[in-house]
Structure 1
Amino acid sequence: MEILIGLIALLFTTVAMVVIGERTGLPWPALLAVVTAAAIFFPWMPSVDIPADMMLPIFIPPLLWALARRTSWASIKRNWRSVFFLAILLTIITAVTVGAVAYWLVGPLSLAGALVLGAAISPPDPVAVDAVAEPAGVPRRLTATLQTEGLFNDAASIVVFNLALQVLTGGEAVGWGEAVLTFFYSAGAAFLLGVVIGRLAAWGANFCMDPVSRNALTWVIPFATYVAAEEIHASGVIAVVIAAIVFNGRLEVGAEDRLSGSAFWEVVELLFTGVAFGLIGLSARDAIEQVGSQLWHAVWLGAVLSLVAFLVRLVWLYGLYVFKSRTGSRTGAPLRLQEVLLLAWAGMRGLVTLALVLSVPATAGFSLYHELPVIALVVLLFTMVIPGLTLPWLMRRLNLHKGPDPFGDNAREELVARARAAATRAMNRHSKSLPPEALESIRGRFLEETHTHEEDEAESVEEKQRKMRAKARKFQEIQVEALKASQSELLRARRERNMDPAVVDDVLYEIDAQLLVAEKRLEHKREEHPPKASTSMLEG
Structure 2
Amino acid sequence: MEMMILLIVLGMGTVLVVGVGDRLRLPWPALMVFLGAAVALIPGLEVIEIDPDLILPLFLPPLLFATAQRTSWTMFRSRWRTILFLAVGLVGATVAVVTATALWLIPGITLSAAIALGAMVAPPDPVAVEAVSGSVSLPRRILQVLQSEGLFNDAAALVVFQFAVAATMEGSRVDFGQLLLSFVVSAVLAVVVGLVLSLGLRVLLRFTQNSVARSMAHLVLPFAVYLVAEHVNASGVIAVVVAALEMRQHDDAEQVEERLMQNATWEVLEMLITGVAFGLIGLELRITLMGTDANIVQAIVGGLVISAVMLVTRFAWLFAGTYLIDPRAQRGRSFADYLKGTVVMTWGGMRGLATLALALSLPYTTDDGSPFPARTSILMVVVAVLATTLLAAGLTFPALVNRLGLTGAKEHAQEARIAARARRASLSALKHAPDVPEEVREELRKRMHQLEGRLAGEDEEGQRTGAIKQLQQYRGAFRQMQALSLKAARAEVLRARSERGVDPAAADQVLHRLDLQTALLDQPTGMLPLVRERPENWPQPGAAGGGAGAAREQD
TM-score by length of structure 1 reads 0.90
**2:382: which partner in 1?**
376
Change (3 A) 1:426 1:327: closer
Structure-2 separation of matches of 1:162 and 1:42: 35
Range moving further from structure 2, 482-491 or 31-40: 31-40
Structure-1 separation of matches of 2:483 and 2:214: 24
Structure-2 separation of matches of 1:36 and 1:286: 10
**Superposed displacement of residue 524, structure 1:** 11
**1:107: which partner in 2?**
107
**1:459: which partner in 2?**
none
**1:220: which partner in 2?**
220
Structure 2 portions without partners, runs of 5+: 457-466, 540-555
**What's the C-alpha RMSD, in Å, of the aligned pairs?**
2.8
Structure-1 separation of matches of 2:248 and 2:204: 12
Change (3 A) 1:536 1:40: closer
**1:511: which partner in 2?**
514
**2:437: which partner in 1?**
433
Deviations 1:185-232 (A, max 9, x none): 011110111111111122223432111111111111111111111111
Change (3 A) 1:173 1:368: closer
Deviations 1:31-64 (A, max 9, x none): 1112221235433345543201111111111111
Structure-2 separation of matches of 1:172 and 1:83: 31
> Do 2:125 and 2:354's aligned partners in 1 also have CA atoms closer than 8 Å?
yes
**1:280: which partner in 2?**
281
**Superposed displacement of residue 488, structure 1:** 0.7
Deviations 1:510-539 (A, max 9, x none): 11100111122489999x755479x4569x
**2:72: which partner in 1?**
72
Question: Given residue 406 of structure 2, which amino acid in structure 1 is its aligned partner?
Answer: L
> Do 1:198 and 1:243's aligned partners in 2 also have CA atoms closer than 8 Å?
yes
**Superposed displacement of residue 284, structure 1:** 2.4
> Do 1:95 and 1:118's aligned partners in 2 also have CA atoms closer than 8 Å?
yes
Change (3 A) 1:468 1:499: closer
**Superposed displacement of residue 98, structure 1:** 0.5
Change (3 A) 1:406 1:122: farther
Deviations 1:274-327 (A, max 9, x none): 010000011123202221242222212221111111111011011024537977
Within a 5 Å distance, the mapping from 1:205-354 to structure 2 comes to 205-252=205-252, 253-321=254-322, 323=324, 329-330=330-331, 336-354=338-356
Q: 1:423 aligns with which of 416, 421, 426?
A: 426
> Do 2:436 and 2:538's aligned partners in 1 also have CA atoms closer than 8 Å?
no
Structure-2 separation of matches of 1:498 and 1:93: 30
Structure-2 separation of matches of 1:345 and 1:259: 34
> Do 1:321 and 1:336's aligned partners in 2 also have CA atoms closer than 8 Å?
no
> Do 1:7 and 1:48's aligned partners in 2 also have CA atoms closer than 8 Å?
no
**1:461: which partner in 2?**
none
Question: Given residue 349 of structure 1, which amino acid in structure 2 is its aligned partner?
Answer: R
**1:190: which partner in 2?**
190
Q: 1:399 aligns with which of 398, 405, 410?
A: 405
**Superposed displacement of residue 370, structure 1:** 2.4
Change (3 A) 1:220 1:445: farther
Matched residue of 2:494: which SS? helix
Change (3 A) 1:362 1:465: closer
Range moving further from structure 2, 198-207 or 175-184: 198-207
**Superposed displacement of residue 139, structure 1:** 1.1
After TM superposition, the runs of 4+ consecutive aligned structure 1 residues lying more than 6 A away are 324-328, 331-335, 445-451, 464-467, 522-526
TM-score by length of structure 2 reads 0.88
Question: Given residue 295 of structure 1, which amino acid in structure 2 is its aligned partner?
Answer: I
Structure 1 portions without partners, runs of 5+: 452-463
Question: Given residue 438 of structure 2, which amino acid in structure 1 is its aligned partner?
Answer: L
Range moving further from structure 2, 489-498 or 405-414: 405-414
Deviations 1:480-534 (A, max 9, x none): 11111111100100111111111100111111100111122489999x755479x
Deviations 1:7-28 (A, max 9, x none): 1110011111111112221100
